[in-house]
């Protein structure tokens, strides 16, 4: 273990590509499937509360302006000069390629000297699992400086061009079963691009506030829940997931197998209690955490639709945190998946609203197969 027995977030950074896009401009950037405006767009946007977001797409040409690795590298550069990175841990839902891993591609973009590199898979929780790896590396003394990242390039699979083949091939089926189209169209108005990075060290920074990591908890409910959010497969009637590798290549496009899909019914029925209620019950029992121990609550919410159900669930398990203690930038930064918690913490830390001694509880869920994670931080000065 390192000499202090503590790990601190001493630097934060966020990178959001290009100018923000408002709700009326989304289809100008992502395009219209089959040259028809989405029927779901207004309903989804009214419920999710997102007013603007960022896409790594040139609206004039439709071309991608950044790869996922490039977004991540920009976030790491935003941390400023670092005296040697010993460990680089990256998390993302959709890397630019199947192989090699996302982390080594980021390392290559940065061009920094040799270091340990690891990449964690998953969806929104991949950012926090990468952070936990970096945290443990510093805690056990294996790394002096570790950088953790979360990043998403959702627009790469949300652009209309990815759905044209399916739209043409399955017109009759999609019209007869609109829920097939909705499970894909739904997410086109929910997800956006961005990256964030944290620098972790065993001592606080010399000036300003650092965030001491008290603990991190990650809890999967896959033993009791079917797949809810997925890409690279197709959900079967029995709840199983048929892999992309089981489809002939001719169907990868005609069935948009690699698009991001969401079982909305399963989401609404399970996401709040399985990802928020269950982890809270665990930390209340094992760590003695109380709602009064929280000065700031930072929930990664995919949508404002879940704010009240989450508050109700927290109250039901005996952990009601007043709304004035909640902090989210969903409205202005959008849902950037695994990068969201990095972007939220960065904004709050740089806002000047935090003071030494403030305690932060960060909540990061994912609906892939329902995983909930919690991170408890304390704002500290060097002294």
Q: What CATH number is attached to the domain comprising 363? A: 3.40.47.10
Residues 183 and 219 in one domain: no
Question: Quick one: angle between helices 264-272 and 178-188, nearest 10?
Answer: 60
Residues 60 and 172 in one domain: yes
Does residue 243 lie within any of the structural domains?
Answer: no
126 within 8 A of 68, measured Cβ to Cβ: no
Place of tokens 């829920």: 179
Between β-strands 52-53 and 21-22, what pairing exists: parallel, antiparallel or unpaired? Answer: antiparallel
* Residues of the chain with confidence (pLDDT) below 70: 164-184, 383
Give the list of residues 6+ apart from residue 172 with CB closer than 8 angstroms, or none.
none
Residues 218 and 124 in one domain: no
Does residue 174 lie within any of the structural domains?
Answer: yes
For the chain, the helix, strand and coil percentages under 3-state DSSP, each to the nearest 5:
40, 25, 40
What local confidence, expressed as pLDDT, does residue 164 receive?
64
Evaluate the omega torsion of the peptide bond into residue 100 and state whether it is cis, within 30 degrees of 0: yes
7 within 8 A of 215, measured Cβ to Cβ: no
Residues 193 and 279 in one domain: no
Strand, coil or helix: what is 24? helix
What local confidence, expressed as pLDDT, does residue 167 receive?
45
Does residue 234 lie within any of the structural domains?
Answer: no
Does residue 91 lie within any of the structural domains?
Answer: yes
The DSSP line for 181-199 is HHHHHHHHTTB--EEEEEE
Structural domains in the chain (count): 2
What local confidence, expressed as pLDDT, does residue 34 receive?
74
Separation between Cα atoms, residue 309 and residue 265, nearest integer Å: 15
Residues 296 and 163 in one domain: no
Containing structural domain, residue 158? 8-207
Torsional sign, CA 263, 269, 274, 275: positive
Residues 275 and 361 in one domain: yes
What local confidence, expressed as pLDDT, does residue 176 receive?
56
Residues 145 and 217 in one domain: no
Does residue 309 lie within any of the structural domains?
Answer: yes
The runs of H, that is alpha helices, within the chain are 26-30, 41-48, 68-77, 102-110, 126-139, 155-158, 164-169, 171-176, 178-188, 249-254, 264-272, 278-286, 307-316, 330-333, 340-350
What local confidence, expressed as pLDDT, does residue 181 receive?
52
pTM for the whole structure: 0.94
Does residue 232 lie within any of the structural domains?
Answer: no
Phi/psi for 296 (5° steps) reads -135, 130
What local confidence, expressed as pLDDT, does residue 174 receive?
43
Strand, coil or helix: what is 340? helix
Residues 349 and 293 in one domain: yes
Q: Which two structure tokens, joined as six digits, stand for 144? A: 């002096």
What local confidence, expressed as pLDDT, does residue 15 receive?
98
């Amino acid at each position: 273990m390192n000499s202090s027995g503590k790990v601190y977030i001493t630097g934060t950074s966020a990178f959001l590509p290009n100018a923000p896009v408002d709700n009326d401009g989304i289809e100008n950037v992502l395009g219209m499937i089959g040259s028809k405006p989405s029927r779901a767009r207004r309903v989804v946007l009214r419920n999710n509360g997102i007013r603007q977001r960022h896409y790594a797409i040139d609206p004039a040409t439709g071309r991608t302006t950044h790869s996922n690795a490039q977004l991540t590298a920009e976030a790491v550069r935003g941390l400023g000069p670092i005296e040697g990175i010993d460990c680089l841990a990256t998390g993302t839902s959709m890397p630019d390629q199947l192989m090699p891993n996302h982390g080594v591609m980021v390392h290559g973009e940065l061009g920094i000297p040799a270091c340990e590199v690891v990449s964690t898979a998953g969806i929104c929780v991949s950012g926090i699992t990468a952070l936990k790896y970096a945290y443990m590396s510093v805690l056990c003394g294996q790394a002096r400086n570790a950088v953790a990242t979360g990043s998403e390039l959702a627009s790469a699979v949300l652009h209309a061009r990815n759905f044209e083949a399916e739209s043409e091939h399955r017109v009759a089926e999609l019209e007869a079963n609109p829920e097939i189209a909705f499970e894909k169209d739904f997410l086109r108005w929910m997800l956006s691009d961005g990256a964030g990075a944290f620098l972790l060290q065993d001592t606080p920074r010399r000036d300003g506030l650092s965030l001491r990591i008290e603990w991190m908890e990650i809890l999967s409910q896959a033993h009791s829940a079917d797949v809810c959010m997925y890409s690279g497969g197709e959900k079967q009637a029995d709840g199983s997931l048929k892999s992309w590798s089981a489809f002939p290549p001719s169907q990868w496009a005609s069935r948009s197998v690699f698009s991001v899909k969401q079982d909305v019914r399963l989401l609404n029925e399970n996401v709040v209690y399985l990802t928020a209620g269950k982890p809270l019950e665990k930390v209340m029992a094992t760590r003695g955490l109380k709602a009064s121990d929280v000065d700031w609550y930072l929930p990664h919410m995919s949508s404002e639709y879940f704010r009240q159900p989450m508050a109700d669930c927290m109250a039901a398990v005996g952990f009601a945190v007043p709304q004035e203690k909640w902090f989210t930038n969903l409205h202005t930064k959008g849902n950037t998946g695994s990068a969201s918690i990095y972007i939220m913490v960065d904004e709050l830390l740089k806002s000047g609203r935090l003071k030494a001694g403030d305690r932060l509880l960060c909540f990061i869920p994912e609906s892939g197969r329902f995983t909930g994670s919690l991170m408890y931080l304390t704002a500290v000065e060097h002294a």
